[in-house]
Structure 1
Amino acid sequence: MNEQNENLQTSTKPLSPREVLHQTALKAPNQSGVYMWRNEGGTIIYVGKAKNLKNRLTSYFSGNKDIKTRLLISRARSIEYITTGNEYEAFLLENNLIKQHNPRYNICLKDGKSYPVLKITKEKFPRLYKTRNVVKDGSLYFGPFPDAAALDTFIETLYDIYPLRHCRKFREKDSACLYYHMGKCLGPCCKKTDSSTYGEFIGEITSLLEGKEDTAKKMEDQMRQAARELDFEKAARLRDGLKALSIMQNQNIVEGFDQDDRDYIATWREGELVSFTILKIRGGKLLGRDNYRTLSLNEDTELIPEFMGAYYTEKEIIPPSIYVVSKEGTEFMKRWIKETYDCETEIIPVDDTEKMRMHRAAVNMAQQNAREDIIRRVRERGDFPAMEELKKELGLSKLPVRIEGFDIAHIGGKFPVASLISFYNGNPDKKNYRYFRLKTTDGLIDDFASMKEAVSRRYTRLLNENAELPDLLLIDGGIGQVNAVDSILQTLGLDIPIAGLAKRDEEIWRPHTSQPICLPKRSDALRLLQRVRDETHRFATSRNQELRTKENTVSPFAKLPGVGAKRDGMLMKKYGTLACLANATETDIAETLGIKADAASDILIAAKNLYIEQMEKQNRQKASLGIPGTTKEKAARFQMNHNLAAAALLEIASPEEDPKDS
């Protein structure tokens, strides 16, 4: 019997780590509780709560998941869970476990949470600086200050006003430092001043920072007294000090709020990376903004409650009102704050009513700050998760470190422009942006031909210069545009991966395929492609607008003989277009401008010639592109494509090409 069991075990294929996790999820009970994901070393990497453990855990293995979920599953080796009597008990247990184990993919704000303070050292000649470490060494501490940047500015202002020492350690010397010679220090190290004079400055700064109700009035009285005594330097110091303190205390005031204290909390995420922003309103003024970056694999609806559990660790920092985006989890948080800190606070989700207008604006401001913080973070680290997912989903041979994107912009066929933008490590590389003033489609609407011209000109040049080629080429369009570009690259003998992003359903098209690739809306790869596409569109549109503005400021009548600014205005008012002027008579022109018939004849002849020249140019362009219709036109169209590919190989360029073109 044992022998049969052994044979059965050896013949059964072992389960993969993912399958083992899935089996554990299927066996979970249908009740509330907390679950913990452990890695290969047994370390807890994520803690979550669920109203129904089985439903929540099995959801990790169903459907197409975003990269943060796939990352969690790939690094986990086991799942444990603890059942609870209700969802609120699960919330309490989750909060305790997160603080106990500090999992990598949960929100933890223990580090870097303290606000900075201003320290005045206890020395014979004190110095002042910003610190987050409060030590009982006899020094004076002022704060904390929620806005660290404002404190930095205030300290710089104090050093501009008061010539205090800058050196970290005080040592007596024979010669003074550069700060003394610049008038930025009194030179106590060289005995250039005494402690009483130096102490007067410290006393003024201390009075400023104490911020008592009568401090400002006393300082103003001292300022006026110093002015009466003709001690203008002291009066100026006091004036500038009061101004600097006022700026620090009152910057970023949000008008229209009452005097209650409140917090506004919002978040933004990119994959596993999450940023939280808190706007702190105290006494009706926005005193500061806190930003926290962290990693979390929690659901979007549970991010704010999880963050609040990690952030509000002291009763003193909990305001009477907290405004958030959604009501998800707010009842639990309100109850938890009451039971934990014996503190009454309202957690209020904002809505679109007029009553909430100001509060909604503040939450939107916080959300925008969180988004900007994420953008900075992605720029700093490179968008590697998105590039890795893009490589996998598109079947690329290597990571798309360099992505180039094309887009076409025109107005009714006029001023056609192709934009080329470049992304490196998932971020814009603006020094490699280019634009192309298109020549073969000026006056015509043919995006396929426009894209072909831009691509052929770009990559012919890179071939001739033996320059680095991109890892991925993104086209703003569907399968038609993608195949058109692929034909040019094939002609050039280039093997650059191509993808097209169609705007309607955000479908990704690869060359010569019948079905698009559809990624989840929260996919990091799709987000990166959207960023590239949107940037190409912005760049192309801005250049097209520049050309239109330039063209609109130059009147076609100004090119005619004997027509200056005044006559140009008269012709524009009378005829409006060159075509209307070319169809006018000498008598009409002479009467309009008040000139002789000979001069009017010269203007009319020049107008007709210029109009004929423009029409011939448009006809040549139409013939070169071959508008579908007759057999002759189709042959001309075929010849145009052949010539375009040949031009790409030979890099035929006009001597009048825009120097910014590539």
Structure 2
Amino acid sequence: MISTVRSLPDSPGVYQYFDDKDKLLYVGKAKSLKNRIKSYWRFTPTFIPNPGQSPRIIKMLHEAVRLDYIIVESEEDALILENSLIKQLKPKYNILLRDDKTYPYIYIDESEAYPRFEITRKVVKGKKITYYGPFPNGGRALFDALYEIFPLVQKKSCLHKGKACLFYQIKKCLAPCEGKVSKDAYAEIVKEAKQAITKRSILTKTLQEKMQKLAVQERFEEAAALRDSIEAISSLHISSNIDLANQMDLDIFAILNGDERGVIVKLFMRNGKIISSAYSYFRHTHIFDCNEAYRQALLEFYTIDTPYVSKEILTAHHFEDALQVARTLSSRFEKKISIETPQRGPKAKLAKLALQNCKELLKKKDNDTIMEQKIADLLELSTIPYRVESFDNSHMMGAATVGGMVVWDEGKWDKHSYRRYELHARDEYGQMKEMLTRRIADFKTQPAPDLWILDGGQANLNLALSLLKDAQINLDVIAIAKEKLDARAHRAKGAAKDILYTAAGIIELKPNDKRLQWIQKQRDEAHRYAITYHQNKKRKEDTQVSLLNKKGIGKATIKKLIDYFGTFEAIAHASSEEIEKVTNKKISNIIKNNNGEM
């Protein structure tokens, strides 16, 4: 490695340290690769890590045996590439922030005669677009409340029908489609609704009155739905007595690292009032670097599709790359964006408020993750598995082959992140390989979790470890399978116990062990999800087979087509010539003439 370090170019770029097992340890960026990387080392009297660095950096350098680097054109390019590689490859010593979700915004296009509110996660084209948000939680409840209380145009299609509908009859719309309300009168309603988005007491008070009326009428389910909406809208607000003299828009970020994990808090101030907030945890890392944390958080949050970006961003801590990140964001959104760490005044109080919330969240969560910590100790994992992805596949005699991935995140199922895979491999090993390969390909946009749990034994474990090694991704993996009795895995309840397969060896636990039950719960949910998808797909395929049978196409021919094309969908999209090659012209004509029924 010393020869690589001595011959580094004086160019911007990204560098990567690897250990003796070729595992990626750390990704960093540099304005000058030569200057930055040489600062890690001392060359005399021997080549050793620079003792002036933190103990954890020195620990990383002692593990490193190889250095790779990528030259880029500018420091900004290095910044963006570094962030992308960290998210995709999950290096051992880098921070991996998980909260890369795009939050919803409420918007209205007032260039229309009778505008209505909509929800978006991306930029909407138009000259008179106004955005409200972001709303990490409760945005949908707020949106629905607007249409519950104000007689706005309820659906896009309403204006095109030219005739008053049920919404007019139940007094939820004033029927502008029939000209029953003037543009000016409607504009006043819109103005009131816009005020209610920020002054939410207008909404919650009206919803409470409606809820009480419904309760008196014993319409309890409807009353409960309104109660949930009120709670969701109320949860958007963080109470604060901080008053800004001018109606400023500010985004406030605070990041704090704890003993077992870190947390990031975001506050969003619009027109001088905090309208919403969000928080997320990130894994404990061997090296916590404040600069890296804020840099990654800001670049991840402000994607090119972000509908609205505040011109001023506050951070609770100063970080080294603040100026460069501000330049990158300014270039990305084509407007001047500044990043400040205020030391006094109302802005400093806002940063302090965000930091106080970080401290409270770390205290609260430490008591909720005892099982995950026990799992990490049992399996000797490199990190506590706060986010877990579990995989299973399902088929019947090779038909309707599918896979499922379920996600456990921060003590609950993250059903929005569940994924279904239509698989084409013929054997179970090939199916698992196909599924895991596709998931690895998605790491660029959907970062790796802390742990993979696979349904299967040593073969599946070895497969996953091999795929991850080839992709140079650091990720813990275990597999769980029934103990084989007489060379068969007995799946009947109580017939055989579950065995855990890890990189360090096999682990056997008693059936009543809570840790085993936790892992079984992950496996069982993956199995449930995969088999549900399989059953739905099988029913659909059975229907398609039946339709083809009625047209005179036999099972043997259908099997030949499926073996060649893989799916009924692929058959439907195939050309007449392709189908004719596999079967004959008569079959081709039948299928193409009845394409709508497939």
Which bin holds the TM-score, normalised by the shorter protein?
Answer: 0.3 to 0.5
Q: More strand per residue: 1 or 2?
A: 2
Between the two structures, name the one with larger relative contact order (CA 8 Å, sep ≥ 6).
Answer: 2
Question: TM-score by structure 1 length?
Answer: 0.35
Which structure would you say has the larger Rg?
A: 1
Question: TM-score by structure 2 length?
Answer: 0.38
